[in-house]
Structures are given as structure tokens and as C-alpha cells.
Chain A
Amino acid sequence: RKEVEQDPGPFNVPEGATVAFNCTYSNSASQSFFWYRQDCRKEPKLLMSVYSSGNEDGRFTAQLNRASQYISLLIRDSKLSDSATYLCVVNLGYSGGSNYKLTFGKGTLLTVNP
């Protein structure tokens, strides 16, 4: 089983649509969770951290369910500029000598169409 699994995509949605991405992780010792965004041929950029209480940043809402080892990202009122690959990312923190290295899912490609 892969450490981080995401919806394979791709997702093609019209402008203004709501789109949800799902992710599961296998290591219950994982400490912190993120969504990164990666534009074509660019580096990953931190979109938002994910907390158990859920967090929102404008049109973006992230949720974490530790019991189910499940992470989600919801994008409301999608814009053309949201087109990118969304990477689900997990960090074991310092446990077991993990040294805070990040473990990435394969990413889900989103294309928002006019």
C-alpha cells in the first residue's frame, strides 16, 4: 500500500464549480498534513496546512480525519487560475528519526475550463 494515495484524476470542471480532492495515508504516526499546489514544470508551493478541526482559506477548505486517516481539500467557485496539480503531503514529524521529511501523493491534476 502506498504511503499517501490520492484520487488519480484528472478533474475537468467549469469555472465556478466546486471540486473536492480526497487523500488517504497509511502511517497512523503521521504528525502534520498539507496540500501543496504545483503548476506545470514548476516547484510545489504550500497551499495550506490541514488540521483536525478543519481550516479554511478563502475558497479553499481542508479537513483531516485522523481516525480514518483521510484528508480532503474542497475548492469552491473554482477559477481558471486554480488549474494545477494538487499534492497531498504527509509529515511524520520527528518520530522514528523521520526528520520532518515530506511524503507526497502522486498528485491530482485539475483543469478549470472557461
Chain B
Amino acid sequence: DTGVSQDPRHKITKRGQNVTFRCDPISEHNRLYWYRQTLGQGPEFLTYFQNEAQLEKSRLLSDRFSAERPKGSFSTLEIQRTEQGDSAMYLCATGARETQYFGPGTRLLVL
């Protein structure tokens, strides 16, 4: 257990529905990252927060995706109007500088 928690661990939804995932980081880490991993691939970077500021977004993050980190603590990732191609594992990681520790992930299946 790295100390990073994510909720829910699994989510099944129908195409077109909105979903929201939560990440609770290691408390002393001010850097928080979201990654997405599809079958047979390594994780791919989605977005990065330093404290409450969202400082970088991947071009993978379409306008249906939004992420927040109010007060620099937990973070949420929302996907609106889900599509089947959004099915993946969504991983949250926190870090101090170059080392990152991953949460258990939220596995999303869009039917």
C-alpha cells in the first residue's frame, strides 16, 4: 500500500453517462498526476497538479474530461458523456520530485 487511495475501484457505466473518480494523495506530496492505461499499453499521462493548480494537460484529455484539486488535497477526474473508448484503468500518482507512487486505480468499463 503506497498511501495513495482511489475511489471507486471499479465503475461500469453506459455510454453517454458522466462518471467521477477520486484520488486521495499521500499528504505531504504536493504533486499529483492522473494517468490512463489501456490493455497492453503502459500508463499515459493525462494531467498534473501542483497543489491546487492544474499546470499541464495532455492532448489525450479531450474537453469531455475535467480534473480538479480543490485546496491542494484530494483530486477528482470527471468524464462527461462517456464513450466506449474511455474504457481503461485511471491511475492517480503522487510524488515528491521525480519519484511517483501510484494508487490502486479505477477500472472503468463503458458499455
Contacts and interface: CB of A to CB of B under 8 A. Distances in A.
Interface stretch (A12-20, A69-77, A101-109): A101-109
Nearest to A2: B42
Nearest to A89: B42
B73 interface: no
B62 interface: no
A109 B101 CA distance: 21
Given A43-B91, A106-B40, A106-B42, A99 B98 contact: no
B71 interface: no
A102 B40 contact: no
Nearest to A100: B98
A44 B43 contact: yes
Range for the number of chain B residues in contact with chain A = 20 to 34
A99 B48 contact: yes
Chain B interface, >50% SS class: strand
Nearest to A41: B107
B45 A46 contact: no
Central interface residue in A89, A97, A101, A105, by most chain B CB within 10 Å: A101
Interface of B: 2, 31, 33, 35, 40-45, 48, 50, 55-56, 91, 93, 95, 97-105, 107
24 contacts: A4-B42, A32-B98, A43-B104, A43-B105, A44-B91, A45-B102, A46-B99, A46-B100, A87-B43, A91-B98, A99-B31, A99-B50, A99-B55, A100-B95, A100-B100, A101-B48, A101-B56, A102-B35, A102-B100, A104-B42, A104-B43, A104-B44, A106-B40, A107-B42
